[in-house]
């Protein structure tokens, strides 16, 4: 029988030059206030670059600055020869609330036969009466799939994706992973999904207040190199710290005992932190799934007030979930480095 999950792919209808995107000594921020600088990017054809960094550092802002939606505080960016850009907006502003699913796609491609539009929508799980749904009444997951449908129909050779796995179920995430890995173009994306980054990224760009750092590998490689750098910095700091003469001699046994107690205390604190964030992620993820189920329920389709309330709640929960995942990731890294 036919596959019950979504099945799609991205294909570029033309090839870009070898240099796809160049960003030179850029600073990102708002109202002249710099939150990260300097940022440098030299993105080449067929690379898949993940942008990572703490919440609030401006990862989505960087994407919007590259697209010209938010000006750089300083510096510049430039697309290469024959680069055609497709953008996936996590805030889903590229959708029209009052259009139907069918018209959202058909209006962009009016010369494409309706049966072909319906066939493409079917591959993204919009089947039968689903294509008549009004965009405003779609769940977060349905809107995400519709945005991906629009993106796949454009056949651009450079995809810029902002949190593309948000709202997607496990099957859809897996299909998206395969679509990105099989894509015959170039990808620049922001994501908090560690598994997704590790699966598709060929390089990782870390954004920090001090600017950008490039790691030529997947997410595991990035974590490994970060740990090495922190160990080197810690060793250097220890070597440069002057040894103060204590007025009283302290026995070696007592020092070791006190050091051991402190280490056990620190380990317990780190483990507790990881467990607490893990529990919070599970709780928020369950709440998010529950809201998406409510939004996809038939009795809520035409209740605009109810859908508005549910959408606002979903956005807030998604924001909290992203922060919790970031904190969980950071706490896990700290524990791994401590136990190494």
Verify that 191 and 62 share a domain, yes or no. Answer: yes
Instruction: Look at residues 270, 207, 212 and name the one whose alpha carbon lies nearest to residue 54.
Output: 207
> CA–CA separation, 79 vs 150, rounded Å?
22
Verify that 315 and 213 share a domain, yes or no. Answer: no
Residue 214 forms beta bridges with which residues? 205
Q: Which of 172, 197, 220 is where one domain is finished?
A: 220
pTM greater than 0.75 (yes/no) = no
The answer to whether residue 178 is domain-embedded is yes
The answer to whether residue 274 is domain-embedded is yes
Verify that 38 and 158 share a domain, yes or no. Answer: yes
Verify that 23 and 115 share a domain, yes or no. Answer: yes
pLDDT at 248: 53
CATH of the domain at 105: 3.40.50.300
> CA–CA separation, 334 vs 338, rounded Å?
6
User: What does each C-alpha distance from 187 to 5, 146, 178, 298 come to in angstroms?
Assistant: 24, 19, 13, 36
Q: Which of 220, 245, 279 is where one domain is finished?
A: 220
Verify that 191 and 265 share a domain, yes or no. Answer: no
* DSSP string across 115-184: HHHHHHHHHTT--GGGGGSBGGG--HHHHHHHHHHHHHHH--SEEEEESTTTT--HHHHHHHHHHHHH-S
Verify that 74 and 204 share a domain, yes or no. Answer: yes
Residues 99-158: tens digit of each pLDDT? 999 999 999 999 999 999 999 999 888 988 999 999 999 999 999 999 999 999 999 999
Instruction: Look at residues 256, 182, 168, 220 and name the one whose alpha carbon lies nearest to residue 50.
Output: 220
Verify that 44 and 128 share a domain, yes or no. Answer: yes
Q: Is residue 243 over pLDDT 60?
A: no
Residues 323-336: tens digit of each pLDDT? 888 887 887 888 87
The answer to whether residue 227 is domain-embedded is no
Instruction: Look at residues 94, 72, 57 and name the one whose alpha carbon lies nearest to residue 22.
Output: 72
Domain hosting 331: range is 254-339
The answer to whether residue 140 is domain-embedded is yes
Verify that 127 and 193 share a domain, yes or no. Answer: yes
Q: Do 16 and 86 touch, CB atoms closer than 8 A?
A: no
Domain count, the chain: 2
Verify that 165 and 292 share a domain, yes or no. Answer: no
Verify that 90 and 151 share a domain, yes or no. Answer: yes
ω into 333 cis (within 30 of 0): no
pLDDT at 77: 97
Q: Is residue 3 over pLDDT 60?
A: no
The answer to whether residue 192 is domain-embedded is yes
Verify that 84 and 150 share a domain, yes or no. Answer: yes
Placement of tokens 């070597």 in the chain: 239
Q: Which of 203, 220, 237 is where one domain is finished?
A: 220
Q: Do 334 and 270 touch, CB atoms closer than 8 A?
A: yes
Verify that 276 and 190 share a domain, yes or no. Answer: no
């Amino acid at each position: 029988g036919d596959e019950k999950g979504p099945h799609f792919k991205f294909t570029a209808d033309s090839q870009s030059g070898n240099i796809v995107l160049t960003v030179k000594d850029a600073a990102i921020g708002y109202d002249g206030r710099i939150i990260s600088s300097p940022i440098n990017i030299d993105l080449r054809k067929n690379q898949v670059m993940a942008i990572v960094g703490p919440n609030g550092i401006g990862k989505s802002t960087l994407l919007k600055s590259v697209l010209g939606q938010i000006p750089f505080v300083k510096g510049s960016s430039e697309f290469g020869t024959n680069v055609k850009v497709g953008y996936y907006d996590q805030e889903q502003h590229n959708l029209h609330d009052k259009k139907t699913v069918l018209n959202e796609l058909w209006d962009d491609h009016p010369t494409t036969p309706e049966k072909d539009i319906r066939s493409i929508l079917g591959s993204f799980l919009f089947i039968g009466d689903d294509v008549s749904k009004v965009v405003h009444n779609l769940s977060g997951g349905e809107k995400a799939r519709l945005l991906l449908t629009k993106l796949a129909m454009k056949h651009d050779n450079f995809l810029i994706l902002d949190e593309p796995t948000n709202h997607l179920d496990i099957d859809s995430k897996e299909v998206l992973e395969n679509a990105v890995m099989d894509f015959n173009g170039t990808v620049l994306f922001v994501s908090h999904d560690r598994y997704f980054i590790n699966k598709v990224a060929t390089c990782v760009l870390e954004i920090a207040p001090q600017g950008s750092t490039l790691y030529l590998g997947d997410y595991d490689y990035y974590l490994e190199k970060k740990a090495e750098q922190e160990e080197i910095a810690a060793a250097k700091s220890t070597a440069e710290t002057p040894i103060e003469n204590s007025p009283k001699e302290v026995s070696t046994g007592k020092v070791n005992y006190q050091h051991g107690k402190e280490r056990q205390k620190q380990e317990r604190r780190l483990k507790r932190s990881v467990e607490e964030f893990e529990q919070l992620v599970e709780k928020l993820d369950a709440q998010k799934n529950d809201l998406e189920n409510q939004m996809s329920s038939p009795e809520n389709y035409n209740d605009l007030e109810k859908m508005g309330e549910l959408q606002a709640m979903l956005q807030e929960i998604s924001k909290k979930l992203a922060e919790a995942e970031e904190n969980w990731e950071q706490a896990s890294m700290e524990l791994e480095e401590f136990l190494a």
